[in-house]
Structure 1
Amino acid sequence: MSFAPLKLTTPGQGRGAPLYLLAGRQLRTCTLFSEPHDFGYAVVDGPHPFAAMLRLPEPFNLTLDTRSF
């Protein structure tokens, strides 16, 4: 299985925005991980099929269109 992790951060955030978007190219799905803890993440949103509209929480507060993935 092939994955392309992407760490999403905003400048000036200190530790940054702890959002990780994992795109699974073989299964054509994406999963958003947020609220990191010592042993993983508290919130896992997905997997969602490519072409889904994926909501990114604060500080981004936007909807990501994954049709072009």
Structure 2
Amino acid sequence: KYAINDIVFNNVVCIQWLVNGNVDETYYFAEGLGLIRWQKYDGKESWASELIKRGAQGDNEREVIPCLKV
């Protein structure tokens, strides 16, 4: 489990981009949702701030990416 503020995500994987052996960027992906957080070594970051149920905001269908398990 991985929490951002009051949102708890299950089955999260963390992937890091290394430059010369040092972490440059870190990505967090949640199963069934995709990217939920991004961090850069210099302090820049972005994260999911809310979960919106499918259909709650019109046509917000999930994009299908063939190489990723859905």
The TM-score with structure 1 as length reference comes to: 0.44
Q: Using structure 2 for the length normalisation, give the TM-score.
A: 0.43
Which structure has the greater CA radius of gyration? 2
Greater strand percent: which structure?
1
